[in-house]
Structure 1
Amino acid sequence: MATSSQLNLESGLEQSIVHIPKWSGPKHVKVLVTTKLGGYSKPPYSSWNLAEHVDDDLSSVRANRQLLSQQIGKYPFFLNQIHSTEVVSLIQPWKNGDPTPTADGVVSSLDSHYLAILTADCLPILLCDDQGEVVAACHAGWRGLANGIIQHTIAAMVQLIKPKSKERFIGGIHAYIGPSISQKNFEVGMEVKDCFIQKKLLSVQSINHCFTPNDEPNKYFADLFGLATETLNQLGVHQVHTEKQCSYNNSEHFYSYRRDKITGRFASCIWFE
């Protein structure tokens, strides 16, 4: 796992509890992925679970979130994620105690908050424009990808900035795709592939490329990384960065719902320094 000299980690905390992705975004835009390590939650959520909806002890989750905020040095902004295509714009500071928005994407130009996406096999996608004026984050499982969560998030970025040239703005977007379940571990039924075909947001050729037939009839291995990359490229985003880390295989560092069922969630975060 990568370490970071950018964060002022508390004494006694190992720097390997976070992963700092390498990407080509503007220097003042920072990204971070948490791991399972270094928090307060007890089994089966041990130990840095950041999700409040998984039946973990809430005091532990809140302590874990506070720890993350201390490391980043910004106020947190989480979503109530439901596999939708809803995207919210954070244009005013969100205060502790305000209702958590129900959405799966967020865009912002504020430098007071970090945007956090919680996952345990789905894709976390972090984005910013070439000038570093707007940041965005979205939660993309197969349903979100099929229904257009990436398209809705980028449209919200455009709406927030209102660039003179939409094409030039989108062409300058940087995207980071965080840890997710890898294709060899993500078996799905024919109905999942059919959903992508019916929605027609990707070409049939692209869809076929991302679904490898299994030995069982009407079963496939789905490539979430590939589906997201194909979607971003089709929209005009070609600065796409990912290590294709598998949440299912890396049981030491990442939660995986498909692997463990009862488990926590790790966070992928983006913010302005």
Structure 2
Amino acid sequence: MTTTRSGGVSTPPYDTFNLGDHVGDDPAAVAANRRRLATATGLGEDRVIWMHQVHGVRVETVEGPRPRVEDTDALVTATPRLALAVVTADCVPVLLADARAGVVGAAHAGRVGAQNGVVPRTVEAMLRAGAQLADISVLLGPAVSGTNYEVPAAMADEVEAALPGSRTVTAKGTPGLDLRAGIVRQLKDLGVAAIDVDPRCTVADKALFSHRRGAPTGRLASLVWVE
């Protein structure tokens, strides 16, 4: 599941359902929003695991409730009813699951993390936890689209070299990146066949938070868990 901007208590420019605790919003508002989300999932507040994301490639396997996992950009668990949360506002939230084995993963794949391999590292951690490659399904959540993700040509070339399929052209005809396209290709090369992509662009869709469209702003949350 992925949230939108609506349904929370945060005030502008974080209005209203900001779930990021690192963007300058009132901590009490963020805490209230997180409680609302936990209640809506039916899991309870202590069953949602949040990360302090640093655009890295570290993957942490969790077995039970924790207040927060520090300096990590991906989580894996085989514990039932333990939700893994990713917060984003243009980066790609990657949700993975092997329902048969009862193993799930969640990765924060921004440009740097995607380029450096956070997604394949998450898949590897899932396999170590008992998942089977053929049974893994993946959802790439809302993120900035290639149409709206303009970058310098040298950066586009650098990312393309590490994440083939991600270089593109923006609506203005300038060099751009479509990280989700690159991640789809990466997953297919790994042997993952069941891949879905949420078509929404965070920059274009005003119902979503977008750092590129206007910072400071809030963060969406994408969650995955196994019953």
Aligned residues: 224
CA distance in 1 between partners of 2:170 and 2:15 (Å): 34
SS at structure 2 position matched to 1:155: helix
Q: 1:61 aligns with which of 19, 24, 30?
A: 30
1:1-273 equivalent positions in 2, closer than 5 A: 32-74=1-43, 75-91=47-63, 93-96=64-67, 99-161=68-130, 169-197=132-160, 199=162, 202=163, 206-207=164-165, 210-213=166-169, 219-251=174-206, 253-273=207-227
SS at structure 2 position matched to 1:272: coil
Q: TM-score, normalized by length of structure 1?
A: 0.77
Q: Tell me if the contact between 1:76 and 1:115 (Cα under 8 Å) persists in the aligned partners.
A: yes
CA distance in 2 between partners of 1:264 and 1:131 (Å): 35
- What is the aligned partner in structure 2 of residue 27 from structure 1? none
CA distance in 2 between partners of 1:121 and 1:246 (Å): 8
Runs of 4+ with deviation above 4 angstroms:
213-217
CA distance in 2 between partners of 1:71 and 1:47 (Å): 16
Q: Tell me if the contact between 1:51 and 1:264 (Cα under 8 Å) persists in the aligned partners.
A: yes
Q: Match of 2:168, as an amino acid?
A: T
Q: Tell me if the contact between 1:225 and 1:244 (Cα under 8 Å) persists in the aligned partners.
A: no
CA RMSD of the aligned region, Å? 1.9
Q: Tell me if the contact between 1:85 and 1:147 (Cα under 8 Å) persists in the aligned partners.
A: yes
Identity of aligned residues (%): 33
Q: Match of 2:167, as an amino acid?
A: F
CA distance in 1 between partners of 2:169 and 2:204 (Å): 21
Q: Match of 2:213, as an amino acid?
A: R
SS at structure 2 position matched to 1:259: coil
Q: TM-score, normalized by length of structure 2?
A: 0.92
CA distance in 1 between partners of 2:29 and 2:66 (Å): 20
SS at structure 2 position matched to 1:232: helix
Q: Tell me if the contact between 1:128 and 1:136 (Cα under 8 Å) persists in the aligned partners.
A: yes
